[in-house]
Chain A
Amino acid sequence: MNNRCAALLACVTACTVLALPRTAAAGGTLAVSISGAAGEPIAGAVVIAEPLQPVARTHSAQKAVAVMDQHNLMFVPDVLVVMTGTAVDFPNSDQVRHQVYSFSPAKKFELALYAGRAHAPIVFDKPGLVTLGCNIHDNMLGYIWVTDSPWFARTAADGRLQLHELPPGDYTVHIWHALLNETGAQLEQRISIADNQSGTASFRLSRPLRAPTHNHGADGKWADY
């Protein structure tokens, strides 16, 4: 569990870093906060700011290889956000073999049964949500959000995040969470960013998140019976 938390934290940090300015370039900042139906902070939510007009991107396109690990029969992190065109590596840190697949329209692929690092990274070349499964362990479930926008991150434990270096213009801010139990207009907002100015967007979910799933100590000694 500690490893999972560490990996999750590393990814959240990495995702956040990717959205941070690499230089002290001009641009606005967007502060986002998300709370649940009872006002509680929603951690781990994906926030993507999509420009509504062509903008001069101050971000360089994300080229680094992202990592979606598998540990203790779970995908780690549970949610990964990458830019379109990013390659994602799928190492298997378990002692048992996995067979990762997705039949999501944004990326259909399969990795033949493997242990360790047996497969080359997969390039995610179409925006959208990619749901991951393991054909051997049906309880494993993971997500990769692929977006054309370079402005994205996941909320911290306090339900907040900041996106930096947004060129002036209008944006649609989308939020998503793996345990989201609702759809609708409340999951996106339109905001304007002026040069060197800050914008804010606050979201409040109308329904509680679904209960999270757990692995209850499952590891390579467990099997599907």
Chain B
Amino acid sequence: MGRLLNGAALPLALGLGLLALVPALTRAGELDLSVDLRAVSSNATDTRLEGALGKPRYDSGQDGLRLGYLRLGYRGDLSPTLHFTLEAVGYGDHDVNPIDLTELYLEWRPIPSSAWRSRLKLGAFYPEISLENRMRGWRSPYTLSYSAINTWVGEELRTIGAEYSLDWLGLAHGHGFEFSTSAAAFGWNDTAGTVIATRGWGLNDRQSTLFGRFANVGGPLGSRTLFYDDLDKRAGYTLGASLRYRGLLELRGLHYNNRANLADGSDRIQDYTWDTYFDSLGARWTPSEQLTVIGQWLHGRTYFDTTAPINAWSYQSRFLLASWLQQRWRYSVRVDEFDLQQTSCNFCSVATGIGFWFGDDGHALTLAVQRSLSEHWNLALEGLTVTSTTPMRNFLGIDTSQRERQLQLSLRYDR
């Protein structure tokens, strides 16, 4: 019963939160809608979403027309300084709910009366880590597929909790610099680490939803990993800082630690705690109206199980993206490198039927061309090549080394 209540607590809290927002929804707010239709050609192995280990979003069995996403966003205010944001998305890929939430939070954002400003977020939101996901709905204006780092953030690192930020608005005070610091405490975080440890890195734009699922390796979608579960009643935290120079350069750093108690996994629901932490550094350089360059690096560890030797993984990834905006055209190229190494294992023996340690080592090249057709319509063509060696593919009986290619043509409408 307690476990059931625990599982229902999050949906219940969010449901009540939504209910409380209904009166405000009738006031003037910003409602926006996006539809993204894709024509896809891929030679990739079965996708990670469907219980396999394909790196791109689509596999070779999904060639043809696909729904990239259907998205609904709403921003409203409960008072002049108290705003709320709701983001809902549907991917048409048989997740638990056809439309589900990706973000839902309140933000207190007082109007500055000096160069210092406090902000407070409460709810489900992304930590301030990505420098490429700049569009509403945490989408990227540069490429269809996100970098490996931010694909992982979208898959299992959304935080549910409270974040306090302190900004120094130097620009409005006659200086060249601005900086922000933030600290967040969050719950429902104990499964974070499952995806990176058992699937390795991916490159896609499919953000997990608050009540959605992510198939276990070898299992169908809907059968497995419950995201945003809390098993240990212990809050995790993030500490972040950013520095901006006149809108030309932005540096960001974030430390994440879910502080999971490894002893609190649940065999009954096959949900387990993963003690996960990482550091990320990123820079975005925008020297001209046309050019944007983004680089990001992330390194971390995750641990699982309490039986010695405790299973441990070390992972890191980095990418460099350059994007050139020429009137209605945008050209982007991104290079990703990633690796994952299991550094300790208590199940990797022939006796258990697993004669290898987990790992993932590879790189990716993404080329994208976009054309803004009008204020509301956008056309994008993207080619993605991912080369990787992933021992977990032994589970699926396929070669551990794969070169996967995916071509996507996207027609997007935003209103």
Contact = CB atoms under 8 A, between A and B. Distances in A.
Interface string A171-184: 00000000000000
A96 interface: yes
Interface string B164-183: 00010101111010100000
Interface residues of B, number: 42
B172 A103 contact: yes
B134 A225 contact: yes
B135 interface: yes
B398 to A, nearest CB: 36
B138 A225 contact: yes
Chain B at the A interface: SS class = loop
A170 interface: no
Nearest to A96: B30
A223 B113 contact: no
B217 to A, nearest CB: 30
A161 B192 CA distance: 62
Contacts of A95: 30
B98 interface: no
A210 B115 CA distance: 21
B124 to A, nearest CB: 14
Nearest to B178: A138
Interface in B374-415: 414
A216 B292 CA distance: 8
A47 B172 CA distance: 22
B111 interface: yes
Interface in A173-225: 210-211, 213-214, 216-218, 220-223, 225
A110 B109 CA distance: 13
A141 B172 contact: yes
Contact of A214 (B133, B169, B289, B414): B289
B250 to A, nearest CB: 10
Nearest to B114: A103
A113 B75 CA distance: 11
A212 to B, nearest CB: 8
Given A113-B77, A213-B247, A217-B141, A99 B172 contact: no
A67 B286 CA distance: 29
Contacts of A221: 32, 135-136, 141, 414
Nearest to A116: B28
Interface string A133-153: 101101101000000000000
Interface string A103-126: 100001010110100000000000
B157 to A, nearest CB: 13
Contacts of B248: 211, 213
B113 A222 contact: no
Given A96-B30, A211-B246, A213-B246, A223 B288 contact: no
B112 A133 contact: yes
22 contacts: A97-B75, A99-B80, A102-B172, A103-B115, A103-B172, A115-B28, A131-B171, A131-B172, A133-B172, A135-B112, A136-B109, A138-B169, A211-B248, A211-B287, A214-B247, A214-B288, A214-B289, A222-B135, A222-B136, A223-B134, A225-B130, A225-B138
Interface of B: 28, 30, 32, 75, 77, 80, 83, 109, 111-115, 117, 126, 128, 130, 133-136, 138, 141, 167, 169, 171-174, 176, 178, 246-248, 286-289, 292, 325, 330, 414
Task: List 10 tightest A-B contacts by C-beta distance, closest first.
Answer: A213-B247, A214-B289, A133-B172, A112-B80, A110-B111, A223-B136, A101-B111, A131-B172, A217-B325, A135-B111
